[in-house]
């Protein structure tokens, strides 16, 4: 899922200074699960903004709601009336959600309340970790289901590097060495021969280096 965290309140206040009526929109998918932009977080942010405005003797009216997915037009259509009624929208969706809403409602400024951080998993209650960098060329079948792209700070194809010590990465002693994890998993599975293969330099054109990516499914297009 997409993992995000709230921006500092001072940043959000700067975006909405001068506004008197704001719509806060949460997203009930990824950012609800990572507890950054769901219904609960919308309510908390609403309170924080109103209290901040009140402290400065300024008036702020807020309207709060959450939709199923901010990154899909059909869900965004449902809130047209509310968007048009307010001076600005604060989106608690991921970057894709903010952009979809801004594209649909071009007359109303849409501001991001979150920093979209990574694709990851809830490791345990209150802890989320990165697992995928959406490189567009998955190699998990060769690495025991552990992504060296997302979990190695250097994104190296044939690891580990010389900075790996006692299973930890040289950039941070708290960080597991991604390639050590791969090694351990393949050892456990009895598939060490996978590591004998030298991986050629990666073609990054499937990743961000190839520019904004697009998938077209002709069978789906109406």
Partner 1 sequence: MRASITHNDNVIIFACENSAEKAITQAGDGEVLSGRRQLLRVPCSGKVQETHMLRAIEGGFSGVLLLGCHEDNCHYLQGSQRCEKRVLRTRELLTEIGLEKDRIQFHRVAVNEGDYIKEIVEDFIKDLEQLDE
| Helix H or strand E segment including 27 | strand 21-27
Does position 134 interact with partner 1 (CB under 8 A)? The reply is no
What's the burial of 104, exposed, middle or buried (CB within 10 Å: 0-12/13-18/19+)?
middle
Quote the CA–CA distance of 26 and 43 in Å, as a whole number. Answer: 9
Min dist. Cβ of residue 171 to partner 1 (A): 28
How many Cα neighbours within 13 Å face the side chain of 108?
Answer: 24
Quote the CA–CA distance of 64 and 89 in Å, as a whole number. Answer: 10
Interface segment toward partner 1; rule CB under 8 A; list 3-11, 88-96, 131-139, 204-212: 3-11
Closest CB to partner 1 among residues 108, 115: 115
Using CB under 8 A, which residues numbered 33 to 72 contact partner 1?
40, 43-44, 47-48, 50-52, 54-55
Min dist. Cβ of residue 9 to partner 1 (A): 5
Q: What are phi and psi of 175, to 5 degrees?
A: -90, 125
Size of the site for partner 1 (CB under 8 A): 13
Both structure tokens of 26: 């949460």
Min dist. Cβ of residue 54 to partner 1 (A): 8
Both structure tokens of 167: 């299973």
Min dist. Cβ of residue 44 to partner 1 (A): 5
Min dist. Cβ of residue 124 to partner 1 (A): 14
Quote the CA–CA distance of 27 and 100 in Å, as a whole number. Answer: 12
Q: Map tokens 């901010």 to a residue.
A: 70
Closest CB to partner 1 among residues 51, 187: 51
Using CB under 8 A, which residues numbered 159 to 188 contact partner 1?
none
Does position 85 interact with partner 1 (CB under 8 A)? The reply is no
Closest CB to partner 1 among residues 50, 131: 50
Among 83, 91, 82, CA closest to 37:
91
Min dist. Cβ of residue 81 to partner 1 (A): 25
Quote the CA–CA distance of 52 and 9 in Å, as a whole number. Answer: 9
Min dist. Cβ of residue 103 to partner 1 (A): 30
Among 47, 46, 126, 35, CA closest to 89:
46
Residues at the interface with partner 1 (CB under 8 A): 8-10, 40, 43-44, 47-48, 50-52, 54-55
């Amino acid at each position: 899922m997409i993992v995000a965290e709230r921006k500092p309140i001072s940043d959000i206040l700067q975006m909405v200074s001068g506004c008197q009526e704001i719509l806060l929109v949460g997203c009930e998918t990824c950012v609800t699960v990572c507890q950054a932009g769901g219904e609960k977080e919308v309510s908390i942010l609403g309170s924080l903004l109103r209290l901040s405005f009140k402290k400065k003797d300024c008036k702020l009216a807020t309207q709060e709601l959450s939709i199923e997915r901010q990154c899909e037009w059909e869900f965004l259509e449902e809130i047209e009336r509310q968007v048009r009624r307010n001076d600005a929208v604060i989106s608690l969706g991921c970057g894709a959600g903010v952009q979809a809403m801004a594209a649909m409602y071009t007359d109303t400024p849409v501001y991001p309340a979150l920093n979209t951080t990574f694709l990851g998993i809830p490791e345990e209650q209150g802890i989320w970790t990165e697992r995928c960098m959406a490189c567009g060329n998955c190699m998990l079948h060769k690495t025991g289901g552990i992504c060296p792209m997302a979990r190695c700070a250097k994104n190296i194809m044939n690891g580990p590097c010389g900075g790996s010590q006692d299973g930890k990465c040289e950039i941070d002693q708290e960080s597991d060495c991604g390639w050590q994890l791969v090694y351990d998993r393949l050892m456990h599975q009895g598939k060490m021969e996978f590591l004998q293969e030298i991986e050629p330099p990666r073609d990054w054109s499937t990743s961000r280096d190839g520019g904004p990516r697009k998938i077209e499914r002709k069978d789906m297009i109406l």
